[in-house]
Amino acid sequence: MKKELLMASALVSTMGIASVAEAVTASTSGHHDTGLQGTNPDLSTSDDTIAVSNNSSFSVSLSETTDGGVGISTSFMLANEGVNTGLGTAGFSLAFTDGSKLDVINAGNAANSHDVSVPGGAGKPDGITLTSTNTTQTGLDFFGVDTGISFEWHSAADFMADGLKIGASYSVDNGAAAGGSTKLDSSWGLGATYVTDAGDTAVTIGAGVADSTYKDSGTNPTNNSGGFHIGFSAVTGDLTVAAGYADGDKVNPGSSTNGEHEVADNTVTKVGVKYVTGDITLSAGLTSADGKDSDTMGTKGTTADSIDITEAGVSYAVASGVTANLGWKSTDSNDEGASETSGGTSWYIGASMSF
């Protein structure tokens, strides 16, 4: 008990918190999306469907500044009704007087913090379910992982050069036994973003690299989660054009008897365009990705899987914080080099209210 008390006292004194608790500054934010989502699967045995789509979130941000000028902040979510998403509880962020910042606990991977945003569709036309054996990754930051016991350092703006900002992260082993499943042991990441002007065009270049190690009581993955991404965004007036490319490997931990696998030599290419005219935003995007998947025993992956996505959307700003969305998405899938019928098209029409 004495050791626990000493550790608690050290933490409090380190963060500069007074012995008497006082209220920190709190703010809330969130959104509610509601609409209709339609799906038109390629699979002949599946029917076209129309369903109600709701998605809500409510989050709380807490912050305070010490007498020395160091900002301390964190956040948590009270609700997040999105599919396959968690509550997004954050660790602590320390903002220093020189403009740099340090995230501690659930910090993430620095490579993910510097991927360029590429325009796509609008709303959430995501009702098409692909064959589970197609594990191709379609995001630019698919390889950036961490254990949660992690930190990420963010430099101040104009680090060593005007317009440059960099970051670095590291996560350590959380002590979980591998057993019959693969577990992440440690990881690191580096990222950089450079912003400059080329005439009337604002150009942003982002890049990141990451790697990791795993442990397994049986056979370790042949490849770890790791790779690189690079992308750019050019904004000229109301027009935005962006593109990104990623190359790497992805390990999906799990029991070797229920789908433990890795995706090797996965590449992702994304291009997108967005144009704003008054209260209307038009957007479109293309994604092309492929990769070889295998379980840890190497029984799959003789040929590549692939996913190609075409999407477009229109958004209309109805009022402050209220946006109407119309989106369309087409997904083509190939599993082990052969065309499959689990793709299709989907659409969404609805509205979003944010605060």
For 255-291, what is each residue's pLDDT tens digit? Answer: 444 445 678 889 999 999 999 999 999 999 999 999 8
Q: Pick the closest to residue 253 from 301, 290, 212 (CA basis).
A: 212
Q: Please say whether the beta carbons of 221 and 214 come within 8 A.
A: yes
In the predicted model, is pLDDT for residue 7 greater than 80?
Answer: no
Please state the rounded mean pLDDT for residues 59-70. Answer: 94
Show the domains of the chain with their CATH numbers.
36-354 (2.40.160.10)
The lowest-confidence range among 13-17, 147-151, 194-198, 254-258 is 13-17
In the predicted model, is pLDDT for residue 224 greater than 70?
Answer: yes
Q: For 105-129, what is each residue's pLDDT tens digit?
A: 999 999 999 999 999 988 777 767 7
Q: Output the DSSP codes for 126-169.
A: ------TT-----STTTT----SSEEEEEPPSSSSSTTEEEEEE
In the predicted model, is pLDDT for residue 56 greater than 60?
Answer: yes
Rounded CA separation 330/307 (Å): 10
Phi/psi for 27 (5° steps) reads -140, 155
Rounded CA separation 294/303 (Å): 10
The lowest-confidence range among 94-108, 177-191, 278-292, 296-310 is 296-310
Q: Please say whether the beta carbons of 335 and 131 come within 8 A.
A: yes
Q: How far is CA 188 from CA 2, 109, 128, 306, in A?
A: 35, 7, 34, 28
In the predicted model, is pLDDT for residue 70 greater than 80?
Answer: yes
Conformational region of residue 342, where left means phi above 0, alpha means psi within -120 to 50, and beta covers everything else: alpha
pTM (two decimals): 0.84
Q: What is the dihedral of CA 269, 253, 339, 345, to 10 degrees?
A: -70
Q: Output the DSSP codes for 324-341.
A: EEEEEEEEEEEETTEE-S
Instruction: For the beta carbon of residue 128, count every other beta carbon within 10 angstroms.
Output: 21
Q: What is the dihedral of CA 246, 249, 253, 256, to 10 degrees?
A: 140
145 half-sphere exposure, CB direction, 13 A CA radius: 24
Please state the rounded mean pLDDT for residues 306-334. Answer: 93
124 half-sphere exposure, CB direction, 13 A CA radius: 17
Rounded CA separation 77/94 (Å): 20
Rounded CA separation 293/142 (Å): 14
In the predicted model, is pLDDT for residue 206 greater than 50?
Answer: yes
pLDDT for 265 equals 86
Q: For 113-172, what is each residue's pLDDT tens digit?
A: 999 999 998 877 776 777 777 788 999 999 999 998 999 999 999 999 999 999 999 999
197 contacts: CB under 8 Å, gap ≥ 6: 203
pLDDT for 252 equals 77
pLDDT tier, 347 (very low <50, low <70, confident <90, very high otherwise): very high
In the predicted model, is pLDDT for residue 219 greater than 80?
Answer: no
pLDDT for 260 equals 58
